[in-house]
Amino acid sequence: MDYDVAIVGYGPTGMALAALLGQSGRKVVVLERYAGLYNLPRAAAFDDETMRTFQKLGIAEKVLPGTNIQRGYIWVNGEGEPLLDIEYDNPGRCGWPAQYMMYQPHLEDVLDTQVRATPGVEVRQGFTVTALAEETQGVTVTARTDDGAPHQLRARYVVGCDGGNGFVREHMRGGLDDLGFFENWLVCDFQMRRRVPGLPSFRQVCNPAQPISIVNIGPHHHRFSFRLEAGADREALVRPENVWPRVAGFFGPEDAELVRVANYTFRSCIVDVWRKGRVMLAGDAAHQMPPFLAQGMVSGIRDARNLAWKLDMVLGGYAETLLDSYQPEREPHVRFITEKAIELGRVQTMRDPELAKERDARMIAARRAHQKPDKLRYPALKGGLIANDGDLFPQGLVSTAHKTALFDDIAGTGWLIVAKEPEALGAMAQADRIAFAALGGREIAFGISNMFGAAPVSDSNGVYARWFDETGSIAAIVRPDSYVYGLARDAGELNMLTRQLLDTLNTH
C-alpha cells in the first residue's frame, strides 16, 4: 500500500483526522478537489470537547487568537423581550470554556499548518476523486487533477470527509434518513471596522415576521442570518444594497465591511451506513444538522477523534472488526443532537403570530418564575466498545512535583486506568497490568504514591474527588478519545473490566 489511510476532503473533519492519524505515526494522504483552502467562514462555534482535541494536537493556544469565549446565549421575541437565557460553564467538563465563537479561516489555517508539519501526512489539493475500488488488502483511489490528468494510489482505508454532496457518500450508495427539517437562510458575514456598543454577541430573534440569528464569529467578525420564505428572489437578496437595510438597526457601512453573503439551506439527515468494508464516512458526509446548537463541525471532529484511535489500533494489528464500533457509538449521539437542534429550530422559527404569542407567554412566565433552562448534556456512548459508562472523562488541573497542568497534558491520551487512590490498583492481576501496558496503557492514581514514581499526582481543584464521589466509583478505564470505557466500584470490578477489555481487543 502507498498509504495507511486516504482521506477525501480537507475541511475541519478531514484536517483533524489527518493530524490525529499522523500524530500516531500513520502514513496519510488527503485528497481535496479545491486548489486552496476555502477561506470563508461557515461554522461559527465549537465547544470544550473540541478544544480538548486541539489540546491533544498541541494547537489549542494557536487556535485561541481566532476565538471569543462565549458566556451565554440569549433568545428574544420580536419586541426584544428575553425568552431564554443560557449560561455556559467556564470551565466545562473538558477543562476549557464550554463555548467558543470562532473565525473558521483562522482555525483552518492553524489546522492546515499542523497537518503539513506532521511527518507522514501528505496533502494533495486540486485532486478530485472519481473512483474507489476495494481490494483484499486495501482500496485503489482514482483521482484527476484540474488539468484532467489521472492519478492512482492505494491505501489500506479510505475516509470520506467530503461533505453531503461529496463523492464518497455517493460511492457507498447508502440510504438517507431525512428528518424533514430544512430551511433557507440568508447568511451575511461582516468584518468589523470598530467596536459597536450594544451589538449582540449570540442572539436568536424569535420574531414570526422575520426570524434572525446574530452571532459573533471571532474577535473581528459578525454574522447576521435571516430566515427566508420559499419563494424569495435569491439573486436579488444577495446584493449588498439589499443586505445593508436588514442590519441598519445595528450598524452601517462605516462600522463594518460586508465580506460574504450566501443563501444557505440547512438539512437534517443521517446516512444509514457509515462504513462499507474499508471505506468510511465522517462529518457532513455522514450527517447534516440544523445550526441551532452550533454542533455541525463539532460532530465531525468527534467522528475524527473516534475513528483515529480505532484505525490506529487496526493498522497496528488488531482485527478490522474493531471499526464496527464506530457507527453504533457515533450515530445515536449525532441523532440526539440533530433532533434537539430541530426542536430548538422549530421554536425559534415559528411563523404563526398566534402560536408565537403563546410561545412567548410560556417562556416569559418560566423566566419570571426563575425557572432556569436545563443544561443540555449530550448522551453517553452506548454500544460499541463500551462496558458500562461511555461518558466523557472530565479534565481538571492536576499537579506533580514539577508542574500543574490539565490532566491530559500530565497523563497523556492513550488507554488509561485512573484510580481514586493507589490502593485501587494494588489488587489488579499482574498479567493484566502487563497486557494493559502493552496497549500503550498507563495507570494513574491520585494520592501520595502513584505510577509516576516519586512524583505525587494531586487533584488540584477537586474535579476528580467530586467525580469519583458522584459516580460511586474507585477507578475508571478511559479510552484514547477520553470517553470512559467502564467504571469500577471496587477492586474486583476493576479486575473484571480490565480482563473484559483485554479479551474484547484480543478477540478483535
Q: How confident is the model at residue 456 (pLDDT cuts 50, 70, 90)?
A: low
Work out the average pLDDT over 370-381. 82
Q: What is the pLDDT of residue 450?
A: 46
Q: What is the pLDDT of residue 124?
A: 98
Q: What is the pLDDT of residue 498?
A: 96
Residue 253: what residue type? P
Work out the average pLDDT over 100-119. 97
Cis geometry, peptide bond prior to residue 150 (ω within 30 degrees of 0): no
Q: Beta-carbon neighbour count of residue 378 at 10 Å? A: 19
Cβ-Cβ contacts under 8 Å for 419 (sequence gap 6 or more): 425, 443, 444, 445, 446, 474, 475, 494
Q: Tell me how many degrees the CA angle 166-35-285 measures, rounded to the nearest 5.
A: 15
pLDDT in tens, 252-290: 999 999 999 998 889 999 999 999 999 999 999 999 999
Work out the average pLDDT over 155-172. 96
Alpha carbon 191 to its chain centroid, in Å, reads 26
Its pTM surpasses 0.85: yes
Q: How confident is the model at residue 298 (pLDDT cuts 50, 70, 90)?
A: very high
Alpha carbon 133 to its chain centroid, in Å, reads 30
Q: What is the pLDDT of residue 452?
A: 41
Q: How confident is the model at residue 507 (pLDDT cuts 50, 70, 90)?
A: low
Residue 76: what residue type? V
38: left (phi over 0), alpha (psi -120 to 50) or beta: alpha
Residue 334 has pLDDT above 80, yes or no: yes
Identify whether the C-beta of residue 103 lies closer than 8 Å to the C-beta of residue 220: yes
Q: Mean of the per-residue pLDDT values for the chain?
A: 94
Residue 508 has pLDDT above 80, yes or no: no
Phi, psi (5° rounding) for residue 416? -135, 145
Work out the average pLDDT over 49-60. 98
User: What does DSSP say about strands 72-77 and 202-206: parallel, antiparallel, or unpaired?
Assistant: parallel
Residue 455 has pLDDT above 70, yes or no: no
Residue 333 has pLDDT above 70, yes or no: yes
Work out the average pLDDT over 207-216. 96
Work out the average pLDDT over 389-413. 94
C-alpha–C-alpha distance, residues 127 and 125, integer Å: 5
Percentage of the chain surpassing pLDDT 90?
Answer: 86
Domains present along the chain, CATH in parentheses? 3-40+103-174+273-335 (3.50.50.60), 42-48+58-101+183-266+349-379 (3.30.9.30), 397-507 (3.40.30.120)
Residue 447 has pLDDT above 60, yes or no: yes
pLDDT in tens, 168-210: 999 999 899 999 998 899 999 999 999 999 999 999 999 999 9
Q: Beta-carbon neighbour count of residue 458 at 10 Å? A: 15
Work out the average pLDDT over 375-391. 91
Identify whether the C-beta of residue 213 lies closer than 8 Å to the C-beta of residue 225: yes
Residue 18 has pLDDT above 80, yes or no: yes
Place of cell 439551506: 265
Give SS3 for 383: coil
Q: Which residue has the higher pLDDT, 324 or 422?
A: 324
Q: How confident is the model at residue 22 (pLDDT cuts 50, 70, 90)?
A: very high
Beta sheet of 287-288, edge-to-edge order: 176-178, 269-271, 287-288
Retrieve residue 8's grid coordinates.
477525501
